[in-house]
Structure 1
Amino acid sequence: MEACRKILVSGIAALNVNVTDQKIEQLLCLIKLIEKWNKAYNLTAIRDREEMARLHILDSLAILPYIEGARVIDIGTGAGLPGIPLAICLPEIHFTLLDSNAKKTRFVQQVVLELKLKNVQVLHSRVENYHPEKAYDAVLTRAFASLSDIVKLTSHLLARKGVLLAMKGQNLDAELELIAEKKSVIPVSVPGTDVDRCLVRIELPEEAEVR
């Protein structure tokens, strides 16, 4: 895992985020777990652990400076991305990781147990069927759906003045045109890769908020 460690250390330095050595060890453990479980659970198409370090871990951490609020829900978390890397690095924030695939939520629950993460809740549910007792400050998605569908499917989860944070590729003009809500596009670069990334931040109007 030494090559992965070097990728993470240099990538985290390039992102200019504060991640301790202990947290880097947890991130490396996450890579090992994904690699181990991937054969049976088909968690990700990426099989190479060094590519996982770049395209899963650093990709997730690239949006760390833009996470806001005390309660965040990661919709369609899959193998726990970006929720687990963010939860490791932001222990003061409570993360709910939701996915409709039972195998993937079983894996994510195992990760939470093995990494002893106290700030993570894992839920097996479709997003439209989940109605939390307490709403969230931010809804986070990565490769989940079109922007208009994200707004439609997740707005009931947001607290007053909550935000939607959607991790996307580039060329979003057509999707953005369908969004009436206040929005901003934040360019994101992932160290060691040439992937095009951005984070779309959407604020819902007051009348659309349910809590």
Structure 2
Amino acid sequence: MNDTALPADVAPRLHAGLLALGLEADALSPRLLAYLALLHRWNGTYNLTAVRDPGEMVTRHLLDSLAMHAFVCDGTLADLGTGPGLPGIPLAIAHPALRVTLVESNGKKARFLREAVRQLGLDNARVAESRAEALAEPAAYDALTARALDTLSGIIEVGGHLLKPGGTLLAMKAVRLDEEIAALPAGWSVDAVHPLQVPGLVGERHLVVVRKPVA
């Protein structure tokens, strides 16, 4: 599958958005467009995402996922409840040295993820078809991410065991939620709350960086 199945305005929209995020648009666009084309095709049959328009997918899926790229370090990352691979697949494309585990319990979404990883040649990504709380990989990851999975404490409850001591949860939130921050489990602390600028997106986005206690 290639990007010829996408409307003509999608590629320039993605290119401009990547440049606005400070990313290498020429290098990243081909794989991101191939992923988008595959997602768009599968979505017609498997209903992987409620966003149907490819142009909106560029903004609400690809660019929204990549808005956090500057705060992602090389190492290991588990993307909890990744759905069709968001933000895990765009981050794996943008960070070749990042080893990403796409955690998804839904069978049809996991099948799509495996096909996307294969077709895109993403050697730095793997699929774990599992609920986060059932994934038996304790302290295996430098970072976790969750795009719209749960409250901060809820994410930690189901996936905190996957983080190494001192590792970070990178939680994407529509708005800053001080109540969620106040409800963090004992020992967990907020390193920072970064406002994110997503090209073309109306509304707030924040990245909450939460650190797991060392002991």
Q: How does 1:1-211 map to 2 (within 5 A)?
A: 1=6, 2-19=8-25, 21-132=26-137, 135-179=140-184, 180=186, 181-183=188-190, 184-207=192-215
List alignment gaps of at least 5 residues for structure 2.
1-5
Q: SS of 1:189's equivalent?
A: coil
| Alpha-carbon distance in 2 for matches of 1:128, 1:99 | 11
TM-score by length of 2: 0.91
SS in 1 for 2:198: coil
Residues 63-93 of structure 1: CA distance to partner in whole angstroms, max 9, x if unpaired?
Answer: 0000124111100000100000110111111
TM-align CA RMSD: 1.4
Q: How many angstroms apart in 2 are the aligned matches of 1:116 and 1:33? A: 13
Asked if the contact 1:69–1:138 (Cα under 8 Å) also holds between the matched residues in 2, the reply is: no
Q: In 2, distance between residues paired with 1:134 and 1:144?
A: 20
Whether the aligned pair in 1 keeps the contact of 2:138 and 2:163 (CA below 8 Å) is: no
Once residues 18 and 45 of structure 2 are traced to their aligned partners in structure 1, the CA distance between those partners, rounded to angstroms, is 30
Stretches of structure 1 that go unaligned for 5 or more consecutive residues are none
**One-letter amino acid of the counterpart of residue 197, structure 2:** S
Asked if structure 2 preserves the Cα contact closer than 8 Å seen for 1:170 and 1:196, the reply is: yes
Counterpart-to-counterpart distance in 1, 2:183 and 2:123 = 38
Q: Which runs of 4+ in 1 moved over 6 A?
A: none
Distance 1:177 1:134 in 2: 24
Measured in 2, the distance between the counterparts of 1:173 and 1:61 equals 24
Q: Percent identity?
A: 42
Q: Residue 133 and residue 203 in structure 1: after superposition, are their counterparts in 2 closer, same or farther (change >3 A)?
A: closer
SS in 1 for 2:20: helix
Aligned-residue offset at 1:195: 2.6
The verdict on how the C-alpha distance between 1:197 and 1:24 changes in structure 2, with shifts beyond 3 A counting, is same
